[in-house]
Structure 1
Amino acid sequence: MSHPQILTTGFGSLLAAADPDRRSAWAQLGTPVANAGSAHEALVTAGLAGWNIRKLPMTSTEITPDGVTSITNPDEVMLAYTDPRTQATRYLSTVGKGYGVHQNEAGAAVIDTLVAESGARGTGYAGAIEGGRKTFVTIELPNLMHVDGVDTLQLHLVVFNSHDGETAFRVMIVPFRPFCANQQRIAIRDHISCVSIRHTSKSEINVAEIRSKLGLLYDYSAAFEAEAQRMIRSEMTGTEFDDLIREVWPVKKTAEARTLNNAERRTRELTRLWTSAETQAPIRGTRWAAFQAVTEYLDHRAPAKTLDVRAKRVLISKDLAEKKQTAYDLLTA
């Protein structure tokens, strides 16, 4: 299987984060599993193994003056699992009766195959969010993408599973900029960045099917590198960056004072990232720097109650993903 042309030597110094205390969303919410000898060991280390996810009837009891009546929902079931730490049965979610359960272990063969096929040393982080309704395992690919001899990116394969009826089992490729810990998951026209398997009653996690599509994922990374190189070679003015902010975060002049004040604070922070942040120093004044400023704001600077709340938003927020995509589309148009 051919891999994209990614340089691997001589750039170690560029991998040091500008802020050594900054963590990726995966590191913030997950458990380090790089020392695990297999995907199953990684799942055990992260507390994701042995859940025995199962369907239970949804039944309610009503007490009235006439007696006790039990009612069962004929259309939906409850997903429950066994907490491996306490062995207690816990609620996961409510799904349709036709929902197909994929145990966390079902993805282990996929993960081991991805590690073997990519040449990666093993897994990176594994974790659960939203009370276990979504889980993830990351695999850092061994090579580096060095954009135009100036900026360094890592490539990660990320395996997502879900137990909520909302999303499929997914394997996706995510470019990652270590210098600022930004995730760059972006859709590129005519290129596949994600392989999905829906949770239906007859669906199976087919290792051979996913393996056959790995080449398409690597094609995506080559396309992303080409677009990044084009952006890094394109200069951008401060006025154009201001226009970008207004396009990504449109705010009416007639908006209430709180909205206008929030917009002003956001613009100040974005402008600071664009003009003076150390994370943009090697690429300052380019369209690539503008994209990184927007991404860094969304991943690390946007207001959030806690670091965990912000990290979860990075991984699953549709609105955040759409803002990154809008910025990317405008900057590559």
Structure 2
Amino acid sequence: MSTIEIAPAATRRPAWDVLGTRLEGVRGSIDAMKESDLAGWNVRKVPLFFEDDSPAWDGARRDVADRYATVRTNPQTGGTEYIGVVGGTYTPIQNEAHAELLDAVLDTADAKWEAAGASHGGKRTFMTMRLPEDIMVGGKDAVGLHLVAFNSHDGSSSFKFAVTPVRVSCTNMQSAALRGAKSKFSIRHTSGAGRALSEAREALGLTYKYVEAFELEAERLLATPMTVGAFDAYAAELFGVRDEDKASKKALANRDGLMDLYRSSDTLDGIRGTKWGAYQTVTEFIDHVAPVRGRDVARARATRSFDGAAERLKAAAFALVG
């Protein structure tokens, strides 16, 4: 089994801290956007065209039908930067357009701004707020509660909120699909204080329902023992290692890394030997241990934490351990 390098838990930061700007003491959403360079983007569509260097080309540029580039103004340099490609029906919505709703959520939930920023070259933006009370799983394992507002400027998603529990001792971001409780919900583009407040209350009602369901499942997992042998089988199943001779090198490395982490990580002290500890091994592995490409390892891992693939793997791990 391979030996993995585990960064000290005290040095770890959640993905939004790595990719964004801390917003301690900031109150209004417009101020939060200015502080994190999300204000003044002026996202807009511009035509796309192509050229060809073949001998038959007449040298004239050709427009690309029903496709446009989205661009923004960089608030620091004033220059124009490319974001992505969208269809003809796509309508840009500025970051500031949701300020009223964000402020209504903050006021209704008694939450505080935590961090905000952009990822994937400006294609996606995020604003994170911390809810005032943590979950204490088993009366001892603190899980902080966060609301993350996501938007995109490349047509990949709508404006939405996601409930993101984070285990405090190791900053592992959780993802779990729970029956009858939604962790994500899209919000319509709103106008008018009354409607914004109504949607904020609806969003928070869904949030609290999910948090309650998550806490019940976490308590159940913590109370359920899991042997080392059972964890090894769990790791193999999660990464699809059913036959060592046929499994890919990547799958084997991931399985072995997960098994090594389960045995060696001090963040699992007190929960190792339970299904809750097994699931936390997976979230720690994905967020802080699994190999990534690029020189800036922390940034690459943070970006991956916001990718759908990492989130789906955590949700699959939660379903499998149950």
Whether TM exceeds 0.5 here: the answer is: yes
Assess if the C-alpha contact under 8 Å between 2:113 and 2:130 holds in 1.
yes
1:3-39, Cα deviation, whole Å (9 max, x unpaired): xxxxxxxxxxxxxx96211111111111111222311
Aligned to 1:219: 209
**What letter is aligned with 2:254?**
R
Quote how far apart the aligned CAs of 1:74 are. Answer: 2.5
1:48-81, Cα deviation, whole Å (9 max, x unpaired): 1000011112233568788542322231111111
The yes-or-no answer on 1:143 pairing with 2:133 is yes
The yes-or-no answer on 1:300 pairing with 2:288 is yes
Aligned to 2:4: none
| TM-score of the pair, normalised by structure 2 | 0.89
Return the alpha-carbon distance in structure 2 between the equivalents of residues 78 and 204 of structure 1: 25
Q: Which stretch of structure 1 is more off in the superposition, 129-138 or 269-278?
A: 269-278
1:90-127, Cα deviation, whole Å (9 max, x unpaired): 1111101111212111122222111111112x210111
Quote how far apart the aligned CAs of 1:139 are. Answer: 0.3
Quote how far apart the aligned CAs of 1:309 are. Answer: 1.1
Query: Over the residues paired in the alignment, what is the CA RMSD in angstroms?
Result: 2.1
Assess if the C-alpha contact under 8 Å between 1:195 and 1:210 holds in 2.
no
Change (3 A) 1:197 1:117: closer
Return the alpha-carbon distance in structure 1 between the equivalents of residues 172 and 201 of structure 2: 27
Aligned to 1:6: none
The aligned length equals 307
**What letter is aligned with 2:282?**
V
**What letter is aligned with 1:269?**
G
Quote how far apart the aligned CAs of 1:212 are. Answer: 2.0
Aligned to 1:270: 258
- Aligned to 2:114, which of 120, 124, 137? 124
Return the alpha-carbon distance in structure 1 between the equivalents of residues 252 and 284 of structure 2: 17
- Gaps of at least 5 residues in structure 1 are 1-16
Aligned to 1:105: 96
Assess if the C-alpha contact under 8 Å between 2:10 and 2:170 holds in 1.
no
Kindly, what percent of the aligned residue pairs are identical? 36
Return the alpha-carbon distance in structure 2 between the equivalents of residues 173 and 25 of structure 1: 14
Aligned to 1:289: 277
The yes-or-no answer on 1:32 pairing with 2:29 is no
Task: Map residues 210-249 of structure 1 onto 2, 5 A cutoff.
Answer: 210-249=200-239
| TM-score of the pair, normalised by structure 1 | 0.86
- Aligned to 2:38, which of 38, 48, 60? 48
The yes-or-no answer on 1:87 pairing with 2:74 is no
Change (3 A) 1:94 1:212: same
Quote how far apart the aligned CAs of 1:89 are. Answer: 1.1
